Chains A and B, each alone.
Chain A
Amino acid sequence: MNKTICFYFQVHQPDRLRLYRFFDIGNDSHYFDDFANRTILKRVAEKCYLPANNMMLDLIKKYGKEFKITYSISGVAIEQFEKYAPQVLESFQALAKTGCVEFLAETYSHSLASMVSPTEFKKQVKQHAQLIEKYFGVKPTAFRNTELVYSDAIGETVSELGYHTMLTEGAKQILGWKSPNYIYTNAINPRLKLLLRNFNMSDDIAFRFSDKSWDSWPLTADKYATWVMNAFNDGDVVNLFMDYETFGEHQNASTGIFDFMYALPGVMLSHGIGFCTPSEAVKMYQPVAPLHVPFPISWADEERDTSAWLGNELQNEAFGKIYALESKVFKTKDENLISTYRRLQESDHFYYMCTKFFSDGVVHSYFNPYETPYEAFINYMNVLSDFEIRVQDKLLAIKKKS
């Protein structure tokens, strides 16, 4: 049977908060740093999204149906494209038209709702699926959760939503001796198939590619192909899941990352290795075993757990407080409030409060607009306080009317 590579790229940009002071609470309900968000999005569009999309389009033209890729674009990122860089959306639409690209379902606001509120989680997944259908003309059939967060229970919720395919991390603590290069199933509902990220081979591209102290530097498409061949000794499909920003943003164009990616499909195809999308993979290959994941895993940090977002008291407090507002927010039926509520759930806000500076500090500080996690916490809680006041006011107004 054919062996394949499954490429999936994550596209997400957070809505960074502005410096929001105590004195602003109740007085000013403008929370987001529009300038920073616009500037960063435009920069990443120039350096990554547009050139990378062009390259993918070229590759598809060159290899036709032989070359397949998959994207997951968060709803809030799509909103930012609409506002600041519509040409990026158009180029994704052009990719969608080729029929060689699958778009995944995820939470609309790149949230961690799956961990506390199945109701809110389901709403966000549905909202996201509608958005994807609106822009790309297809209903997504495979699901990936924010930061690849997964557990048996989350998988069950996802299958309740009608998805039969889900992507997550090939975390060591879950797999043990097992290979990530097979299809597995959810421990509760075996109809849900799982694709596991081969983190070694993904990180060779996403993290190590430009590292000159790495003994395999420089990485070439030929060298990489031999590793992929080896991986197929134990498996059918190598899942290469990474941030799309790897191309041109995390790995600068000058590192040769674009040339590497451009050369890769040709080399792979010449070795008889194909490409597939997640939904195709589960049709091609039989699952080998159920996978037991009692506690949530993710693709972040060494631990591959959720401690980057919910690992200290600051994060737990902020997370607890925002989800405590859920029922009140939806009682307001105010679209503006609900949309803000969703954006305040973006996992990035909690990531900025992470205090695990020592092992993974390098990656964390790269993504962090705050100098300390404490500042991130104070700022977030100030915003949340104002938001809570607005929700209360709205509810009071509704009560008065009725």
Chain B
Amino acid sequence: MKVLMFGWEFPPHIAGGLGTACYGMTKGLAHNDVEVLFVMPSASGDEDQSAVRIINASDVAVYDKCHSVDEFLSKVNFLRVGSNLSPYIDPVEFTSLVEKEQRFQREEFTGYFKQKYKFSGRYGKNLMEEVSRYAMVAGAIAMDNQFDVIHAHDWLTYLAGIAAKRVSGKPLVIHVHATEFDRSGENINTEVFHLEQMGMQEADRVITVSNLTRNIVINKYGIDPAKVITVHNAVDFTGRSDLSVQRGVKEKVITFLGRITFQKGPEYFIEAANKVLKMYPNVRFVMAGSGDLMNRSIRRVAKLKIADRFHFTGFLRGDDVQRMFAYSDVYVMPSVSEPFGISPLEAMKSNVPTIISKQSGVAEVLKYAIKVDFWDIDALADAMYALLMYPAISKEAVAKGADEVNALKWDNAATRIKQVYEAAINSKK
């Protein structure tokens, strides 16, 4: 079986967990005899290609591969993101508008691809433009390659997946690692929402990383439950050596590690820390990472007058993430909404007992982590205190947690993904 996979990033150049997940997944698929053609907007050439062939979308010149621009566009003419069609027009006007739009697109498209388009591959300003150009390139790649199924990761690549499907007629599987509701709460970006919804509707199968996300896809995007399947993420710790650190502080360390944003619930961590410190001052809290709520968090910590026991590290790079885990005695992920959440697994792999919010997908696969509602500061403070004061609990959590994490193999997850591919292919027949 051969799969054309669209991603946005791949190690070593990653901004979030998506690249890491794609990497583990492609290795797992390779062990399941699935060949993966991985397309990403901007490859650097130093990606690990042992399990996949990586196509750099920036290297694909579309123009000479498309024999007929018109034929291509007739299949992928939905590609303009955020077009300004108004609902208050009559059908005649609409037809002329659409024709004009198509003519414009044709010119623009021919213009774009006389040369290769250089994608930045970053999550920046012209994201929407890159998303739609990426889709055009995706169509061209789909014409030029042989494969059985298309697999697209997260909304940035959904359009690319749809384009490839239109051009090739092959089934499309989209993989939901996060939804707009996870990123923004209820104040969603409607443009992104519609892109996501379109991807889910066009897909033959939708994979979600947890049942939590599956429910969002079904309830908030109105997708048929029959075609939404949960495949929990796994973790790949090969090549990871245990890092020992010279601990400078004698007190136990409780860590929050992640982006300091609404989604991750930093304020609950701070309030719980304050409660614990009132009972038990011999502990230090660390908030590692950066994000738009960082300054507010710092002000809150100062206001609570706990800044001598509550530290900020800023954004951690490379080895420092592992160092931070090695430094920790308790790891806390109080996410308000977390489709999966890989970092608690990293913590448990480093033998750090872990507290996670019930509102995280990873809570579905971890039996031995301590789970609290993200908003329940008292419960969170209780759990922190218990792990600090009662070594029996943390010992148990560490031992059982390590077993659980070791059981989460990408090979197993890939087997399930392969089953989804087969179902998608069969549904097309």
Contacts and interface: CB of A to CB of B under 8 A. Distances in A.
Contacts of B327: 23
Contacts of A385: 249, 284, 308, 311
A-B pairs with the 5 shortest C-beta distances?
A26-B248, A27-B248, A317-B302, A313-B302, A313-B303
A26 to B, nearest CB: 2
B313 A21 contact: yes
Interface in B275-314: 284, 286, 288, 294-295, 298-299, 301-303, 305, 307-308, 311-314
Given A314-B299, A378-B312, 11 more contacts: A22-B288, A22-B313, A27-B246, A313-B299, A313-B302, A314-B298, A317-B301, A377-B307, A378-B298, A381-B311, A389-B249
B307 A317 contact: yes
Interface in A283-342: 312-314, 316-318, 320-321
Contacts of B305: 317, 320-321
Contact of A374 (B246, B249, B295, B313): B295
A385 B310 CA distance: 10
Nearest to A317: B302
Contacts of A316: 302
B302 A388 contact: no
A374 B247 contact: no
B308 A374 contact: no
A314 B323 CA distance: 28
A198 interface: no
Contacts of B311: 22, 25, 378, 381-382, 385
Nearest to B299: A313
A169 interface: no
A204 interface: no
10 contacts: A26-B248, A314-B299, A316-B302, A317-B301, A317-B305, A320-B305, A321-B307, A372-B295, A377-B302, A381-B311
Interface string A11-44: 0000000000111111110000000000000000
Contacts of B250: 26, 389
A26 B327 CA distance: 12
B249 A377 contact: no
A26 B302 contact: no
Given A22-B311, A389-B248, A374 B303 contact: no
Interface string B234-269: 000000000001111110000000000000000000
A68 B305 CA distance: 48
B320 to A, nearest CB: 8
Contacts of B301: 317
Contacts of B288: 22
A96 B334 CA distance: 64
Nearest to B303: A313
A374 B307 CA distance: 12
Contact of A25 (B249, B299, B320, B323): B249
Nearest to A316: B302
A306 B307 CA distance: 22
A189 B311 CA distance: 45
Contacts of B245: 23
Nearest to B309: A385
Nearest to A315: B302
Contacts of A22: 286, 288, 311-313
Contacts of B248: 23-28, 386, 389
B308 A384 contact: yes
A228 to B, nearest CB: 45
A155 B323 CA distance: 51
A320 B246 CA distance: 30
Most buried by A among B246, B303, B308, B313: B308
A266 B320 CA distance: 64
Interface string A346-378: 000000000000000000000000001011011
Nearest to A392: B250
A375 B303 CA distance: 16
A25 B250 CA distance: 10
Interface in B207-256: 245-250
Contacts of A386: 248
A374 B323 contact: no
Contacts of A384: 308
B311 to A, nearest CB: 5
Contacts of B314: 375, 378
A119 B311 CA distance: 30
Contacts of B320: 23
A149 B299 CA distance: 26
Contacts of A381: 307-308, 311
A400 to B, nearest CB: 16
A317 B310 CA distance: 12
A28 B249 CA distance: 11
B249 A23 contact: no
B286 A318 contact: no
B161 to A, nearest CB: 41
Contacts of A372: 295
Given A23-B323, A313-B299, A388 B308 contact: yes
A21 B313 CA distance: 7
Contacts of B302: 313-314, 316-318, 377
A50 B117 CA distance: 59
Contacts of A23: 245, 248, 313, 320, 323, 327
A23 to B, nearest CB: 7
A396 B314 CA distance: 32
Nearest to A386: B248
Nearest to B249: A26
Most buried by A among B246, B247, B294, B298: B298
Contacts of B323: 23
Nearest to B311: A22
Contact of B294 (A312, A314, A320, A374): A374
A184 B285 CA distance: 51
A26 B298 contact: no
A334 to B, nearest CB: 19
A22 B315 CA distance: 12
Nearest to B286: A22
A308 B64 CA distance: 64
Contacts of B308: 321, 381, 384-385, 388
A314 to B, nearest CB: 5
Contacts of A378: 298, 311-312, 314
A377 B298 contact: yes
A253 B219 CA distance: 71
Nearest to B245: A23
A384 B308 CA distance: 8
Contacts of A374: 294-295, 298
Contacts of A25: 248-249, 311
